[in-house]
């Protein structure tokens, strides 16, 4: 047997070894579904399948990169290079570029991000003279998005009486017209939005049998991860492409379907058997990721859902510690607790930041956590907030770059035509748009033909427009001969963008300049990196495509060690040794907006299942008594999901009067110590005493808590430590690590820590209040 196949259990090996035919692997979290896909690809290649014939679709590009890396180590990097792996959007964007002309698009079409799309919708609404309070552009955009994901084209919309009526009932009778204008404008701008990447792929495969046949023959083996979260449009693409050879392997977990709100259709997984002949079904039951406590607690949660497939998930891993539940007074307290707990775990177990993740239901919750982490000097990275590429100064530079590649790009043009200010005002732009609509041309084409149309603009403005056009054209010439990095540097300077920010001189302005530098560095790295890729020149067009399709997780440069902060939705498929799930409160999680129906509540419960099953060693659940939401302090109640976990898996931390929380002690590292003596001696400064009286339910739980001393007369035998002359250079002895020399002392009071170079153990950072150091 090939060596790598031994890294699979029998149940996992079966789908890997079934080379041909349709198959589905339905299995719970952490049971190795992604591993099966990865090894299956390696196995196919060992069986002589050309990497060119394999297509693998993943939830993020990062996941695809990681899989590819693993495959490279098995089959060799050069073999793995040609594999097509990535998100639906990135793979089909590539295919659409090859085939763009068939759909009447230029191959250099722009990909509009959500912001571009929303702006365009807003301007269509304005141009149509509609009430923007009734036609809210974000809502309108999301309607359009959902039509597209259900493959409802403009024509289909107007033919669908129910839809038309529903919009009329919602007092938006002109939805269809907005949709029509939006689609026309995108087309004229040579732009596709995110949903188009799937919609147009479907159109391509439907309308052009020879194109379908070409890709069917090419992608003889198709694999899809996280199949439970595919939407209808994605489903149809997979179905069409796999129809000829039927070598399709999908893996998923119905219990982790969490994107129904965005059109994901769990029936795709349930109906798979019906769609293909002789489907082999595989189940994996052993979880390798998490402790018994976590696995069993997660099972007990998902059990409460009525709509689910019966599945077994068990683990041979250790029971592990119980799930810690902690109640805090406010969200600021919650942040402080999480930061302290991470800090202590790091000290106790000598762990890097990368071992920790903090997960929340909504992005807005990150702020209080961030504040606390910053105070503790713990490095973190937020995923999926405002991404780097969404920042204004970055979008400005990208706006120019996009125009160079596709001068028809209307959103890019509107963005930069008068930034930095060059005397082309809003009225002029409006006139250009009217003319563009009238002649059915792009705005740039209107500028190119100013001499031939009477726009009623003065000659000064006309000159300025022409200067702008000539600048873009000169960049286009440079683009013929320079790589993306050189060109971008020229753009940043020649357009006056950098100059504009330098003039600003404020700290924000300086930060923006740094961001632009960061972007340029990124472009340089990209150009360097692309040189290794087959058929790539590191061109500007390639860079822009990469940027447009970067998913929220792809900002990870992987070069440094940070605590990960993200929404639970984004955490799907990932794993971390320590996971903190914060904001476990009614109305927040489950979300107040998702409690109207059983199915909504069940989706929230699946979300909680996803969150908990990310943890390998230890999970923490926190909730507050009151929290700032929408600028107000509101009362909070513990989430029903905490109640739903069997108490035997939980350990409630006691918020004792005057104590913020009970620190965690690891006797293994610190030797046999009297744990009761190691609690915080004084309240952390500013910590308000708990001012609540527990209710019956809380009392019931409090009685189960571990014993806690009353904290008043604690004579902590570690206090002596603080009196000792511990300075850099001191030689100390530690019970376990032996003799070492202090390199650095940091922090004060409870947080004081020493970096020590131990003769035997190397460099360790220890928290002085726990490390029983003896000065020698
Ligand atoms: P999720 O549902 O969260 O996406 P999954 O089913 O895709 O989970 P994987 O991520 O593939 O699970 O595997 C979970 C963890 O268990 C990974 O760290 C993986 O490397 C490990 N693992 C899977 N199978 C085995 C095995 N047979 N032996 C050892 N470790 C394994
Ligand atoms: Mg997975």
For the stretch 12-34, pLDDT in tens is 999 999 999 999 999 999 999 99
pLDDT attached to residue 61: 84
Q: Which ligand is nearest to the CA of 315?
A: 1
pLDDT above 90: residue 759: no
Q: Which of 5, 229, 288 to mutate to test the pocket of ligand 1 (most atoms within 8 A of CB)?
A: 288
Q: pLDDT-based confidence at 704, cuts 50/70/90?
A: very low
pLDDT above 60: residue 509: yes
pLDDT attached to residue 460: 95
Q: Whose CA is nearest to atom 31 of ligand 1?
A: 288
Is-cis flag, bond preceding 420, omega within 30?
yes
Give pTM, 2 decimals.
0.78
Q: How far is CA 551 from CA 67, 406, 440, in A?
A: 16, 22, 33
Q: Which ligand is nearest to the CA of 576?
A: 1
Compute the Cα dihedral for 759, 761, 764, 766 and give only its sign: negative
610 CA: nearest ligand 1 atom: 3
What's the full length of the chain, in residues? Answer: 776
Residue 700 buriedness (CB in 10 A; 0-12 / 13-18 / 19+) = exposed
pLDDT attached to residue 552: 63
Residues with CB under 6 A from ligand 1: 7-9, 12, 27, 29-35, 253, 256, 288-289, 573, 575, 613
Poorest-confidence range of 4-8, 349-353, 542-546, 631-635?
A: 631-635
Nearest to 224 by CA among 249, 256, 188: 249
Q: How far is CA 480 from CA 59, 275, 477, 489, 672, in A?
A: 35, 48, 5, 15, 70
- Tell me the ipTM for this assembly: 0.99
How many whole angstroms from 533 Cα to the centroid of ligand 2? 27
Helix intervals (H) in 252-357: 267-270, 272-275, 292-302, 331-349
Q: pLDDT-based confidence at 533, cuts 50/70/90?
A: low
pLDDT attached to residue 386: 65
pLDDT above 50: residue 709: no
How many whole angstroms from 94 Cα to the centroid of ligand 1? 30
Q: pLDDT-based confidence at 692, cuts 50/70/90?
A: very low
**Lookup result for tokens 């794993």:** 575
Q: How far is CA 467 from CA 256, 448, 449, 477, in A?
A: 54, 11, 13, 15
Q: Whose CA is nearest to atom 11 of ligand 1?
A: 32
pLDDT attached to residue 673: 34
How many whole angstroms from 81 Cα to the centroid of ligand 2? 22
pLDDT above 90: residue 186: yes
pLDDT attached to residue 522: 82
Q: Whose CA is nearest to atom 9 of ligand 1?
A: 32
**Lookup result for tokens 């000598």:** 350
Q: Whose CA is nearest to atom 21 of ligand 1?
A: 288
Q: How far is C-alpha 686 from the chain's CA centre?
A: 35
Average pLDDT for 98-102: 96
Q: Looking at the domain that runs over 110-189, which CATH code has it been given? A: 1.10.10
CA angle 143, 148, 151 (to 5 degrees): 130
- Residue 32 annotated as lining a ligand binding site: yes
Q: pLDDT-based confidence at 706, cuts 50/70/90?
A: very low
pLDDT attached to residue 92: 96
Element (H, E) at 739: strand 738-746
- Please list the active-site residues: 33-34, 225-226, 256, 614
pLDDT attached to residue 754: 85
Q: How far apart are CA 392 and CA 354, in angstroms?
A: 29
Is-cis flag, bond preceding 590, omega within 30?
yes
pLDDT above 60: residue 701: no
Q: Looking at the domain that runs over 314-387+556-652, which CATH code has it been given? A: 3.40.50.300
Taking the CA atoms of residue 532, residue 538, residue 543 and residue 544 in that order, the dihedral angle to the nearest 10 degrees is -140
Average pLDDT for 441-447: 96
Q: Looking at the domain that runs over 399-531, which CATH code has it been given? A: 1.10.486.10
Q: How many CA atoms lie within 13 A of 711 on its CB side?
A: 16
Q: Are strands 248-252 and 323-328 parallel, antiparallel or unpaired?
A: unpaired
Q: Would you say 201 and 195 are in contact if contact means Cβ atoms under 8 Å apart? A: no
Domain extents for the chain?
A: 1-103+199-284, 110-189, 314-387+556-652, 399-531, 730-775
pLDDT above 50: residue 715: no
pLDDT above 70: residue 676: no
Q: Which ligand is nearest to the CA of 256?
A: 1
Q: Above pLDDT 90, what percent of the chain?
A: 65
- Residue 30 annotated as lining a ligand binding site: yes
Average pLDDT for 497-515: 85
pLDDT attached to residue 77: 87
Q: Would you say 87 and 551 are in contact if contact means Cβ atoms under 8 Å apart? A: yes
Average pLDDT for 499-526: 85
pLDDT attached to residue 120: 96
How many whole angstroms from 365 Cα to the centroid of ligand 2? 26
Q: Is-same-fold flag (1-103+199-284; 314-387+556-652)? A: yes
pLDDT attached to residue 587: 92
Q: How many CA atoms lie within 13 A of 705 on its CB side?
A: 19
Average pLDDT for 540-563: 76
pLDDT above 60: residue 658: no
pLDDT attached to residue 526: 82
Q: pLDDT-based confidence at 515, cuts 50/70/90?
A: confident
Q: Whose CA is nearest to atom 15 of ligand 1?
A: 289
Q: How far apart are CA 33 and CA 27, in angstroms?
A: 7
- Residue 423 annotated as lining a ligand binding site: no
Q: How far apart are CA 558 and CA 387, in angstroms?
A: 16
Average pLDDT for 391-417: 95
What is the DSSP annotation of 540-572? HHHHHHHHHT--GGGG---SS--EEEEEHHHHT
Nearest to 629 by CA among 360, 359, 357: 360
pLDDT attached to residue 382: 87
pLDDT above 90: residue 708: no
How many whole angstroms from 517 Cα to the centroid of ligand 1? 39
Taking the CA atoms of residue 269, residue 273, residue 278 and residue 283 in that order, the dihedral angle to the nearest 10 degrees is 50
Q: How far apart are CA 502 and CA 512, in angstroms?
A: 9
Q: pLDDT-based confidence at 271, cuts 50/70/90?
A: confident
Q: Tokens at residue 686, please?
A: 């500013």
Q: How many CA atoms lie within 13 A of 44 on its CB side?
A: 31
Average pLDDT for 462-486: 95
Compute the Cα dihedral for 718, 719, 721, 724 and give only its sign: negative
Kindly report, residue by residue over 82-92, the tens digit of the pLDDT: 899 999 999 99
Q: How far is C-alpha 215 from the chain's CA centre?
A: 30
Poorest-confidence range of 138-142, 613-617, 720-724?
A: 720-724
Q: How far apart are CA 532 and CA 539, in angstroms?
A: 13
Beta bridge partners of 767: 753
Poorest-confidence range of 160-164, 596-600, 761-765?
A: 761-765
Q: How far is C-alpha 771 from the chain's CA centre?
A: 38
When the pLDDT of each residue in the chain is averaged and rounded to a whole number, the result is 86
Domain 1-103+199-284: top CATH class: alpha beta
Q: State the DSSP code for 638.
A: B
pLDDT above 50: residue 717: no
Strand boundaries in 361-431, DSSP class E? 380-382
């Amino acid at each position: 047997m090939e060596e790598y196949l031994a890294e699979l259990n029998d149940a996992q090996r079966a789908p890997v070894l079934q080379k041909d035919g349709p198959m589905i692997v339905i299995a719970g979290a952490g049971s190795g579904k992604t591993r099966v896909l990865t090894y299956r690809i390696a196995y196919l290649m060992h069986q002589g399948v050309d990497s060119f014939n394999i297509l693998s679709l993943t939830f993020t590009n990062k996941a695809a990169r990681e899989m590819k890396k693993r495959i490279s180590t098995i089959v060799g990097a050069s073999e793995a290079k040609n594999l097509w792996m990535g998100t639906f959007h990135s793979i089909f964007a590539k295919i659409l570029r090859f085939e763009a002309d068939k759909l009447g698009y230029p191959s250099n079409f722009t990909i509009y991000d959500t912001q571009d799309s929303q702006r365009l919708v807003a301007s269509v609404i304005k141009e149509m003279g509609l009430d923007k309070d009734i036609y809210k552009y974000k809502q309108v955009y999301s309607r359009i998005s959902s039509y597209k994901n259900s493959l409802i084209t403009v024509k289909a919309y107007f033919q669908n009486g129910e839809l038309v009526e529903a919009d009329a009932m919602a007092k938006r009778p002109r939805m269809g017209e907005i949709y029509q204008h939006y689609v026309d404008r995108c087309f004229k701008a040579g732009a596709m939005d995110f949903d188009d990447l799937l919609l147009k792929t479907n159109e391509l495969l439907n309308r052009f049998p020879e194109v379908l046949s070409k890709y069917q023959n090419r992608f003889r083996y198709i694999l899809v991860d996280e199949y439970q979260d595919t939407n209808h449009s994605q489903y149809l693409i997979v179905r069409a492409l796999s129809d000829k050879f039927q070598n399709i392997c999908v893996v998923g977990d119905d219990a982790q379907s969490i994107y129904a709100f965005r059109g994901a259709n769990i029936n795709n997984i349930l109906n798979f058997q019906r769609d293909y002949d002789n489907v082999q079904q595989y189940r994996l039951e052993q979880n390798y990721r998490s402790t018994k406590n976590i696995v069993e607690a997660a099972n007990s949660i998902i059990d409460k859902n009525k709509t689910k497939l019966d599945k077994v998930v068990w683990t041979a891993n250790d029971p592990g510690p119980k799930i810690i539940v902690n109640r805090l007074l406010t969200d600021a307290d919650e942040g402080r607790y999480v930061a302290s707990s991470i800090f202590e775990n790091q000290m106790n177990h000598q762990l890097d930041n990368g071992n920790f993740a903090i997960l929340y239901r909504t992005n807005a919750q990150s702020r209080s956590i961030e504040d606390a982490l910053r105070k503790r000097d713990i490095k973190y990275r937020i995923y999926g907030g405002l991404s780097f590429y969404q920042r204004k100064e970055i979008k400005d530079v990208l706006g120019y770059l996009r125009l160079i590649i596709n001068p028809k790009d209307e959103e890019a043009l509107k963005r930069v035509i008068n930034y930095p200010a060059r005397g082309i005002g809003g009225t002029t732009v409006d006139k250009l748009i009217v003319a563009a609509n009238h002649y059915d041309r792009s705005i740039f084409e209107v500028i190119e033909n100013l001499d031939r149309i009477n726009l009623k603009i003065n000659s000064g403005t006309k000159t300025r427009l022409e200067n702008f056009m000539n600048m873009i054209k000169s960049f286009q010439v440079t683009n013929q001969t320079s790589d993306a990095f050189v060109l971008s540097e020229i753009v940043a300077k020649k357009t006056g963008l950098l100059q504009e920010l330098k003039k600003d001189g404020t700290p924000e302005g300086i930060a923006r300049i740094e961001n632009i530098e960061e972007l340029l560095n990124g472009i340089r790295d990209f150009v360097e990196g692309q040189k290794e890729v087959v058929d790539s020149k590191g061109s500007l067009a390639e860079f822009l495509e990469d940027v447009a399709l970067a998913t929220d997780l792809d900002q990870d440069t992987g070069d440094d060690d940070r605590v990960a902060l993200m929404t639970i939705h984004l955490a799907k498929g990932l794993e971390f040794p320590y996971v903190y799930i914060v904001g476990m409160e009614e109305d927040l999680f489950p979300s107040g907006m998702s409690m109207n129906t059983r199915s909504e509540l069940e989706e929230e419960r699946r979300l909680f299942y996803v969150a908990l099953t990310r943890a390998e060693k230890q999970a923490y659940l926190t909730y507050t008594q009151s929290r700032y939401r929408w600028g107000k302090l509101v009362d909070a109640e513990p989430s029903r999901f905490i109640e739903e976990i069997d108490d035997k898996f939980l350990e409630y931390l006691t918020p004792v009067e005057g104590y913020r929380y009970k620190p965690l002690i690891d006797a293994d590292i610190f030797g046999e110590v009297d744990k009761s003596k190691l609690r915080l001696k004084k309240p952390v400064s500013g910590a308000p005493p708990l001012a609540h009286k527990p209710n019956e339910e809380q009392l019931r739980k409090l009685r189960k808590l571990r014993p806690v001393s009353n904290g008043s007369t604690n004579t902590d035998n570690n206090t002596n430590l603080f009196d000792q002359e511990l300075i850099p250079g001191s030689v100390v002895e530690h019970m376990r690590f032996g003799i070492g020399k202090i390199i650095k002392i940091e922090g004060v009071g409870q947080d004081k820590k020493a970096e020590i170079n131990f003769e035997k153990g190397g460099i360790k950072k220890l928290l002085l209040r726990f490390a029983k150091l003896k000065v020698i």
